[in-house]
Structure 1
């Protein structure tokens, strides 16, 4: 994925609060994994025994993703699952699937389901990219894509939000109150869907995965998940520990904190990425003229922040104030390679000049993000994403909790704290979660990989997942400041990581303890 697209998606994801503490009763693995009518685990036999009717994927002449799937030889299907697994005879929803059959049928091992993260990312179309990135894996496995419930083509949920999220709390109480009012308004627009909202949870998506496994006729399911996909995978392992084959987590989230407020832990990690970029820019001072050492470069960024807090910066046809600026600076997380860092340096030069009062033209990346921030959530992506998070964990409904937290961290997190620690629509959500959060604790074998400088799936969070999964093996990519590390799917490739993951998926060989890449 090119840096411009990654940056735009990253800023928009921050708006929705992609990335809480509280009591987490144990999931009850044996009970939740049991099949049968009324069970909290797999659906009753009428769902497990349904037959998938595979067909062409393209749905109309404008369906580019479906056309790409067809051209790659994939096929698509829809299956039926319960809206509420505790009421299997009640309302149902449709789940859209894609399948790219193993390239070498004689060596086929089974089915591998891929979830790239989110939450709320339509994943059915992404198996083509996975197959290209990992041809040996694609030779051994049927690659399975799934649009999670209420996402993409799976009985979509759309609250018709006029914007894609609430963004940063900004520099003062007045700007915080504006975001709180916006969050309350967005939540109210989802009230019409109150009957389905409690069932948008990751637990139910994991149950849907096991219905898919059964429909495919697979005794066990292999899995590759990145970012949020690691939490989904961990929940699946907790509910169905005996039905997992080979499992890979790329950039794991902290399973004890996952939920609407998980982003509050990411500010320091993003600041470290900013410092790494500043050192990179300083080594190229003759080209970018942002400072001859990292401290000087960071001082430029801080001056931009102070200027935007005083009055909005004019950036082309846009105005950048203290609420918008942190989302533009978040673009530093788009990648740690030269191309991404150079693009971010160009952004900072534009913002520096705007802070000086110079007439500027935004870079294509800045223009894309600034144009997208006020745009409506036309396809429901962010309202569905928020619905999943709100169904997973309840959060404080007192805005003062968030404002106190932001104030407490203004000194040590001046740029990103008001963004990452802000409230979300979940504080005003019209319904409560139907179930408690899943307590992740099991010994299922898992290969975990991730960057030590990951700005979204922070390394302490990866370690928390590693501790929760006592059968896991963690291979860190040291010295890297990127989110996701396998296959070059969303970040630069690393040959060491790719070789370890490919070997495990094809041969089942977990690396020795203490293995690391750099």
Structure 2
């Protein structure tokens, strides 16, 4: 496969103005000028056709210097049409990090967001700092750099970790020398959460509700931890752990893969005509056979074992991708070309002027700035060996080294500690077999929140649940919470 095709394939494969709450103490930490009211106007491109209004606003680049340089944030609104039922605003985030959110209110409506929710809120979309139509960042990455995804490549041996380290170091250097390097240290989840509160204030709201998926659950957790008294209802779908996308979370990909894989194996076993195995055990055996066979393939002759594992992981996200994944396996097993449909859906900027690498670059900025990653290659080699044994299907990928080991900036502040201080206003929705944000991470997040959070689990596989997987029990619980604020009296299993 040509390099640009590989690039597309694996790219697919997550303040208050007068007083900002400190991450640990709960005391005022920093201030920012009160933002002027948002003036809504027409959106560009197809967003206007979706019933959205758009605007931009300025926020401090560095909240420790609130009167200093500002950057731009792009905001959209899908307004409630029922003033009698309107409660306030629902801030949203579509995950990533790096995902554009300006169109997300319209996407939610298209997915079937109930009218009762649309009546209750003005649904607010935001391109987070560094992303899309907000002031964007870049690492000046090109397909030729060989960096395809922020999910690390599978490492079969120490030498593979060392090889990945060379690529990671080059990528980090490019980020530090890019056209947007001057804003690099300040693209963080904590600052994005402060931006959310600036949006709340600019909208004239005393409180704001929040709905986020995947990485957006960490952003929402940080937001309500920094501003517990400014958040109304906080809905988190498919949760990371309490540290966001840190090293511990990255290592969970191996666990998530093996949690989810039986669902795919069951699908394959039910279609014996594929020739990939008639039982769960035989399908798993076929996975290792294909990976071993493709490990022997030169990198310039098509899909390698590393890429095969990445393809399998990324297509486990949604049940709708299982048929495609099975056809990819069948083609590789028979030595046939996979076809262009196998390249998946690469995240592309909505018609914005963001750099071509903006998704990967902005994701890297947040991941590497949010926490302090180990810098010793030997640490990653030990972790890879441990996770290769603990989670043999994909553990040696998530534990591998990333550009964060060579990041050109140290974290500008300590990570925000998710804690139990604040109102009991958090609901977590979690699939039992989520490949990207496994159940164990969501359980640790709930533990950090204490009595602030309830969890609804859905006995299904895949990443993201609400509106996508058709679980009436789970969807009803979420809708009821968003509309009435009522949570299950105790954790609920659907």
* Equivalent residue number for residue 308 of structure 2: 325
User: Residues of 2 paired with 1:486 and 1:328: CA distance?
Assistant: 24
* Equivalent residue number for residue 252 of structure 1: 239
For the pair 1:226 / 2:202, whether they are aligned, the reply is no
- Structure 1 unmatched runs, 5+: 1-6, 19-25, 355-359
Deviations 1:290-325 (A, max 9, x none): 2221111111111111111223489xxx51223322
* Equivalent residue number for residue 357 of structure 1: none
Deviations 1:140-179 (A, max 9, x none): 2101001110111111011111235364144334433332
* Structure 1 residue matching 2:222: 3-state secondary structure: helix
Q: CA deviation at 1:236?
A: 0.7
* Equivalent residue number for residue 277 of structure 2: 291
For the pair 1:28 / 2:8, whether they are aligned, the reply is no
Count of residues in Structure 1 that have an aligned counterpart in Structure 2: 465
For the pair 1:168 / 2:153, whether they are aligned, the reply is yes
In structure 2, do the counterparts of structure 1 residues 43 and 136 end up closer, same or farther at CA, with 3 Å as the change threshold? same
User: Residues of 2 paired with 1:177 and 1:210: CA distance?
Assistant: 42
* Equivalent residue number for residue 335 of structure 1: 318
User: Residues of 1 paired with 2:361 and 2:43: CA distance?
Assistant: 25
User: Residues of 2 paired with 1:292 and 1:259: CA distance?
Assistant: 38
In structure 2, do the counterparts of structure 1 residues 10 and 419 end up closer, same or farther at CA, with 3 Å as the change threshold? farther
For the pair 1:484 / 2:460, whether they are aligned, the reply is no
Which of 475, 482, 490 does residue 498 from structure 1 map onto? 475
User: Residues of 1 paired with 2:157 and 2:409: CA distance?
Assistant: 30
In structure 2, do the counterparts of structure 1 residues 409 and 234 end up closer, same or farther at CA, with 3 Å as the change threshold? closer
* Structure 2 residue matching 1:334: 3-state secondary structure: coil
Q: Give runs of aligned pairs for residues 226-375 of structure 1, distance below 5 A.
A: 226-256=213-243, 258-259=245-246, 262-285=249-272, 287-312=273-298, 319-336=302-319, 339-354=320-335, 360-368=336-344
Is this contact kept in 1: 2:154–2:309, CA < 8 A? no
User: Residues of 2 paired with 1:425 and 1:281: CA distance?
Assistant: 36
User: Residues of 2 paired with 1:331 and 1:197: CA distance?
Assistant: 28
Q: CA deviation at 1:260?
A: 5.2
Q: Which deviates the most, 243-252 or 403-412?
A: 403-412
* Equivalent residue number for residue 464 of structure 1: 444
For the pair 1:182 / 2:167, whether they are aligned, the reply is yes
- Structure 2 unmatched runs, 5+: 1-5, 15-21, 349-354
Is this contact kept in 2: 1:273–1:332, CA < 8 A? no
- Taking structure 1 as the reference length, the TM-score comes to 0.84
User: Residues of 2 paired with 1:9 and 1:495: CA distance?
Assistant: 34
User: Residues of 2 paired with 1:255 and 1:297: CA distance?
Assistant: 34
Is this contact kept in 1: 2:254–2:387, CA < 8 A? no
* Equivalent residue number for residue 127 of structure 1: 105
RMSD: 2.5
Which of 363, 375, 378 does residue 356 from structure 2 map onto? 378
Q: CA deviation at 1:365?
A: 3.5
For the pair 1:44 / 2:33, whether they are aligned, the reply is yes
User: Residues of 2 paired with 1:453 and 1:245: CA distance?
Assistant: 29
User: Residues of 2 paired with 1:117 and 1:159: CA distance?
Assistant: 20
* Structure 2 residue matching 1:499: 3-state secondary structure: helix
* Equivalent residue number for residue 19 of structure 2: none
* Structure 1 residue matching 2:323: 3-state secondary structure: helix
* Equivalent residue number for residue 475 of structure 1: 456
User: Residues of 2 paired with 1:407 and 1:260: CA distance?
Assistant: 15
Is this contact kept in 2: 1:304–1:352, CA < 8 A? yes
* Structure 2 residue matching 1:493: 3-state secondary structure: coil
Q: CA deviation at 1:348?
A: 1.0
User: Residues of 1 paired with 2:215 and 2:255: CA distance?
Assistant: 20
Is this contact kept in 2: 1:98–1:125, CA < 8 A? yes
Q: CA deviation at 1:95?
A: 0.5
Q: CA deviation at 1:112?
A: 0.4
Q: CA deviation at 1:30?
A: 2.4
* Equivalent residue number for residue 59 of structure 2: 81
* Structure 2 residue matching 1:452: 3-state secondary structure: strand
Q: Give runs of aligned pairs for residues 427-446 of structure 1, distance below 5 A.
A: 427-442=405-420, 443-444=422-423, 445-446=425-426
* Structure 2 residue matching 1:241: 3-state secondary structure: coil
* Structure 2 residue matching 1:95: 3-state secondary structure: strand
Deviations 1:19-50 (A, max 9, x none): xxxxxxx823522xx4xxxx43x5223x3xx1
Q: CA deviation at 1:253?
A: 0.8
User: Residues of 2 paired with 1:9 and 1:126: CA distance?
Assistant: 22
Q: Which deviates the most, 190-199 or 291-300?
A: 190-199
Deviations 1:46-69 (A, max 9, x none): x3xx122211111xxxx3xxx2x2
User: Residues of 1 paired with 2:258 and 2:9: CA distance?
Assistant: 15
User: Residues of 1 paired with 2:48 and 2:25: CA distance?
Assistant: 39
User: Residues of 1 paired with 2:108 and 2:345: CA distance?
Assistant: 27
Deviations 1:244-266 (A, max 9, x none): 11111111110136325522112
User: Residues of 2 paired with 1:261 and 1:362: CA distance?
Assistant: 34
